[in-house]
């Protein structure tokens, strides 16, 4: 079986970050939204470094002005993922970008997402991780956590923390994650990307998450790598994104190989594939070339991801059978 056809599970995918330039350009034209300067001469998103990426992301999302726009985007993203062999994906979606953090507006977005997800269920299964944006601060995060708790079930199954890891401390968001935990949501948070190993330890200690978004800089503290493996903490690794943002110079230098070799519960995702010009099939191909990973390694990572997915057990069992039968 080719790497493209191999069934895949993706846990770390930002919905707006998967919006192709063509999609955003066309929608902005329809909505008369000014996105001047967003694209380079080749038609790709234009940004420089992580701060520039965050600004470009904000401009791109300004073209999305309604639940219908976001639903249209979700359908396009799911169709593109399914074409690359993804059978299950979790999308990070923030109420701050879907109704301005208002609970009533957020319910309308969830209804739109739920309808699209149901219509695509024959090809790909998806769930939503309601995501706090770190650099907007802990008070905004509390509103996001409330949105998550009030719409939990069905499409919404997780609470996450994304944004600029260099702003504030993990403990600032403890109230929001306590609320998510009490509501029965799965918990994940970005750490160990632009923050070092200490940020991973702090996030685990202060937020009690079962998964870490990125987490790759744990490799700088091998005792932490051992602790993560022993504690069965799942790492949502996004190698292509890290390379695109200059965290590592190339695929062979990315620590995902060493993390896996040392027993880490490694999974693979694309983060913001439209911005970083990647996709799940591309990630598989480049990692195969870099580390000589065979089909067995990728199947193992897909099983790890599915075992850690924020979904009900019936869905997990159904998709696990699909993984094993392929």
Give the pairing type, strands 8-14 and 125-133.
Answer: unpaired
Helix (H) or strand (E) holding 4: none
Q: Is residue 193 flagged as an active site residue?
A: yes
- Quick check: 94 and 16 in contact, CB under 8 A? no
Report the chain's terminal Cα–Cα distance, integer Å. 9
Structure tokens at 285: 């191909």
- Out of 10, 165, 193, 283, pick the active-site residue: 193
Q: Which of 250, 243, 228, 249 is closest to 304 using CA atoms?
A: 228
Coil vs helix vs strand at 87: strand
Give the pairing type, strands 234-237 and 156-162.
Answer: unpaired
Coil vs helix vs strand at 163: coil
> Taking the alpha carbons of 48, 52, 53, 58 in that order, is the dihedral positive or negative?
negative
Structure tokens at 257: 């190989």
Structure tokens at 81: 């993922």
Q: Which residues are catalytic, by number?
A: 193
């Amino acid at each position: 079986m080719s790497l493209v056809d191999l069934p895949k599970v993706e846990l770390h995918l930002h919905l707006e970050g998967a919006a192709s330039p063509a999609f955003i350009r066309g929608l902005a034209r329809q909505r008369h939204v000014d996105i001047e300067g967003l694209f380079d001469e080749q038609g790709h998103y234009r940004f420089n470094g992580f701060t520039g990426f965050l600004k470009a992301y904000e401009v791109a999302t300004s073209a999305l002005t309604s639940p219908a726009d976001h639903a249209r985007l979700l359908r396009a993203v799911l169709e593109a993922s399914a074409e690359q062999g993804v059978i299950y994906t979790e999308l990070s979606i923030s109420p701050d970008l879907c109704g301005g953090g208002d609970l009533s507006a957020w319910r309308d977005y969830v209804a739109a997402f739920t309808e699209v997800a149901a219509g695509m269920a024959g090809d790909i299964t998806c769930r939503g991780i309601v995501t706090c944006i770190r650099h907007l601060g802990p008070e905004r995060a509390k509103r996001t956590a409330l949105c998550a708790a009030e719409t939990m079930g069905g499409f919404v199954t997780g609470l996450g923390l994304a944004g600029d890891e260099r702003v504030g401390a993990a403990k600032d968001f403890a109230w929001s994650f306590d609320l998510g935990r009490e509501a029965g949501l799965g918990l994940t948070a970005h750490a160990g990307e632009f923050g070092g190993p200490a940020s991973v330890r702090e996030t685990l200690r202060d937020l009690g998450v079962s998964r870490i978004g990125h987490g790759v800089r744990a490799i700088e503290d091998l005792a932490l790598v051992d602790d993560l493996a022993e504690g069965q903490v799942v790492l949502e690794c996004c190698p292509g994104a890290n390379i695109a943002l200059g965290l590592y110079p190339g695929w062979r230098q990315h620590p995902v190989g060493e993390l896996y070799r040392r027993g880490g519960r490694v999974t693979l995702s694309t983060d913001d594939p439209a911005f970083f010009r990647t996709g799940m099939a591309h990630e598989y191909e480049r990692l195969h070339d870099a580390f000589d990973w065979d089909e067995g390694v990728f199947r193992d990572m897909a099983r790890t991801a599915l075992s850690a997915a924020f979904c009900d057990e019936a869905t997990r069992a159904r998709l696990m059978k699909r993984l094993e039968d392929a």
